[in-house]
C-alpha cells in the first residue's frame, strides 16, 4: 500500500488531486474518508494530510492558501463533482514533464492558480450558504472595501451588531473580519494591476484605489499574498501574455 503525507508549513495548503484507484485521505484531525477511483478531490490542509492508496497513480496540485479560509478550524475535504477541479487536474497533467519557455510557464501557472481559486471560492460559498447574515456581510465587504475608512466598526454599525458579536461570527468560520477586508482589497488590486486600462497608473495609485492608505503595508501584504512585489506581478503577467500571443501567432503562421 502506498502512503503519502502532505504537510503545510507557514501557510495552509489547498490541495486538489485524483487517484487512479480508490484511496483514503485524512485531513488534519478529521477521520479518514474514502476517495473513489478517478474522482477528483479538493482539500484545505492546515497542518497535514495523509493519503493511502493501494496502487496505480496519484496526481496532486497544491498551492499555499494566502487569503482567509472559510469553515471550522479543522481540515476540510470535498469530493463533490466540480468541473473546475476536473479541469485543473487535466490541465496540470498536460504540462507535467514539458520544458516550457519561461513566459509560457508563467502563463500556465497563472491559469492553474486561477482554476484553483475558482474551485476554492465554490467551497467557501458552500461554507456560508447556511448563514444568510454572514453571506450578506461578505457581500458588503466586497462592495465597500475600497473605502479607506471602511473597517470593523463600520460593518458592525451597518448590521446593528456589536463588534464582539461580529468578530465571533468570523471566528466561527475560522477567520477574522480584518483578514476578509484586507483580502478583498488585495483581490481588487491584483485584478487592477492586470487590467490593460490601468497600464498608465502607478502601483501606488492602484493601492490607494483599493483602500490602502500606506504603500509600504500594501507592498508587504501583496508580496505575502501573491508571492512577488506588485510591480513584478504586473511585469511578469504582461510578459506571460505577450509570450502566449507570440506562441499563438507562431501556430497561425505554421498553419498558413
Q: Please, what are the domains in the chain? A: 2-128 (2.60.120), 132-240 (1.10.10.60)
Residue 122 pLDDT grade (very low, low, confident, very high; cuts 50, 70, 90): low
How much is the average pLDDT of 138-149?
Answer: 91
pLDDT of residue 245: 47
Tell me the per-residue pLDDT of 60-86, one tens digit each, with 9 for 90 and over.
Answer: 988 887 665 554 444 467 777 778 888
Q: Contact, 13 vs 63, CB < 8 A?
A: yes
**pLDDT-wise least confident of 72-76, 119-123, 228-232:** 72-76
**Cα-based distances in Å from 219 to 81, 114, 191, 225:** 37, 21, 15, 10
**Percent of the residues in the chain that have a pLDDT greater than 90, as a whole number:** 21
Phi-psi category of residue 84: left, alpha or beta, with phi > 0 → left and psi -120 to 50 → alpha? alpha
**pLDDT-wise least confident of 5-9, 38-42, 158-162:** 5-9
| Cell 512577488, located at residue | 228
**pLDDT-wise least confident of 33-42, 72-81, 101-110, 208-217:** 72-81
Asked if pLDDT for residue 243 goes beyond 60, the answer is no
Residue 207 pLDDT grade (very low, low, confident, very high; cuts 50, 70, 90): very high
Q: At what angle do helices 83-95 and 102-128 cross, to 10 degrees?
A: 160
pLDDT of residue 124: 58
Q: Contact, 185 vs 226, CB < 8 A?
A: no
pLDDT of residue 130: 60
Statement: the pTM of the whole predicted model exceeds 0.85 = no
Q: Contact, 84 vs 66, CB < 8 A?
A: no
Ranges 23-32, 60-69, 77-86, 167-176, most confident = 23-32
- C-alpha cell of 85? 477541479
Q: Contact, 208 vs 198, CB < 8 A?
A: no
pLDDT of residue 240: 62
pLDDT of residue 114: 76
Tell me the per-residue pLDDT of 186-205, one tens digit each, with 9 for 90 and over.
Answer: 988 988 888 888 988 999 99
Nearest of 179, 196, 181, 183 to residue 226 by alpha carbon:
183
Q: Contact, 43 vs 27, CB < 8 A?
A: yes
- C-alpha cell of 234? 504586473
Amino acid at each position: 500500500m502506498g502512503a503519502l503525507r502532505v504537510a503545510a508549513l507557514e501557510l495552509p495548503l489547498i490541495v486538489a488531486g485524483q487517484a487512479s484507484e480508490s484511496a483514503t485521505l485524512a485531513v488534519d484531525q478529521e477521520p479518514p474518508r474514502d476517495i473513489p477511483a478517478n474522482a477528483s478531490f479538493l482539500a484545505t490542509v492546515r497542518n497535514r494530510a495523509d493519503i493511502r492508496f493501494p496502487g496505480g497513480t496519484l496526481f496532486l496540485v497544491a498551492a499555499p492558501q494566502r487569503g482567509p479560509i472559510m469553515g471550522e478550524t479543522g481540515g476540510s475535504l470535498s469530493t463533490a463533482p466540480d468541473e473546475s477541479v476536473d479541469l485543473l487536474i487535466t490541465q496540470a497533467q498536460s504540462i507535467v514533464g514539458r520544458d516550457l519557455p519561461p513566459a509560457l510557464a508563467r502563463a500556465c501557472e497563472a491559469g492553474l492558480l486561477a482554476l484553483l481559486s475558482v474551485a476554492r471560492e465554490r467551497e467557501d460559498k458552500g461554507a456560508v450558504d447556511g448563514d444568510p447574515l454572514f453571506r450578506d456581510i461578505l457581500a458588503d465587504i466586497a462592495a465597500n472595501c475600497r473605502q479607506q475608512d471602511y473597517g470593523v466598526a463600520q460593518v458592525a454599525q451597518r448590521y446593528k451588531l456589536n463588534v464582539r458579536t461580529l468578530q465571533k461570527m468570523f471566528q466561527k468560520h475560522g477567520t477574522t473580519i480584518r483578514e476578509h477586508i484586507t483580502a478583498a482589497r488585495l483581490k481588487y488590486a491584483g485584478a487592477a494591476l492586470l487590467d490593460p486600462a490601468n497600464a498608465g497608473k502607478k502601483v501606488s495609485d492602484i493601492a490607494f484605489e483599493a483602500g490602502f492608505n500606506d504603500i509600504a503595508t500594501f507592498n508587504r501584504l501583496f508580496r505575502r499574498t501573491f508571492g512577488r512585489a506588485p510591480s513584478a506581478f504586473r511585469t511578469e503577467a504582461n510578459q506571460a501574455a505577450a509570450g502566449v500571443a507570440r506562441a499563438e501567432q507562431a501556430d497561425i503562421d505554421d498553419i498558413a
